Amino acid sequence: MGMAKKAEKKPKGKRPQEQEMRVPTSVDGKELRGIVRIAGRDLKGHWKLTRALQTIKGLGPSIGKVLSKAVITQLSLTNKTLVGELSEKQVEQIEQIISNPSKCGVADFMLNRQRDYVGGKPHHLISTDLAYAIKQDIDHEKDSQTWKGYRHSYGQPVRGQRTRTTGRKGMSVGVMKKAAKAGAAAASAATGADKGKEKAEKK
């Protein structure tokens, strides 16, 4: 049997350097903004409003759906409204709604700060405010020297997870022991060589 002929590679055509930029448009034919910043997060313009709100830090699927319905009713929008179609004024109104969900009739059990130890009143935090509040809570646990704070300070799991096989960070104990043994052996060899030289010089 003869060798199968290798398929000849066709020369790749050069791609055009200048390609026509496609401007995203909505169903109505209006131009969309590519990226819209809402509550400190860049949202893609071709996303629907209901999906986009759920990607903001502090808004999950449940409260995101509730707030999207409130936004649609208050701003007289539709379920098919895209983020790129929103004006600057509408974006400001949306930020006010999602920052104060209790004013829109959202139940207290859906808020992420139900029993705040500072004010005692339930409220909801999003984006950077939520991240800062979480950091403050962890620092408060550390300063109070609670068990959670103790675990946080050592970088260990807080909620009772097992740490025998998982959650190992850095170099394992076995590798550290091997490195220590190797260093001790090298040091002993060096000291032995020095003693041999001293004996030879004395003779």
Q: Give the domain ranges of the chain.
A: 35-107
% of the chain surpassing 70 pLDDT: 73
Q: What is the pTM of this model?
A: 0.64
Q: Could you give the CA distance from residue 136 to residue 66 in angstroms, rounded to a whole number?
A: 28
Q: CB neighbours of 140 closer than 8 A, spacing ≥ 6?
A: 117, 149
With H, G, I as helix, E, B as strand and everything else as coil, classify residue 153: helix
| CATH 1.10.8.50 corresponds to the domain 35-107 | yes
What per-residue string of b and e applies to 8-39 under the rule 16 or more CB within 10 Å gives b?
eeeeeeeeeeeeeeeeeeeeeeeebbeebebb
Q: In this predicted model, what pLDDT tens digit does every residue of 45-78 receive, in sequence order?
A: 999 998 999 999 999 899 999 999 999 999 999 8
Closest CA to 67 of 37, 111, 116: 111
pLDDT of 18 reads: 43
Q: In this predicted model, what pLDDT tens digit does every residue of 170-193 receive, in sequence order?
A: 545 555 566 667 777 777 777 766
pLDDT of 174 reads: 57
pLDDT of 89 reads: 93
Paired strand residues for 113: 123
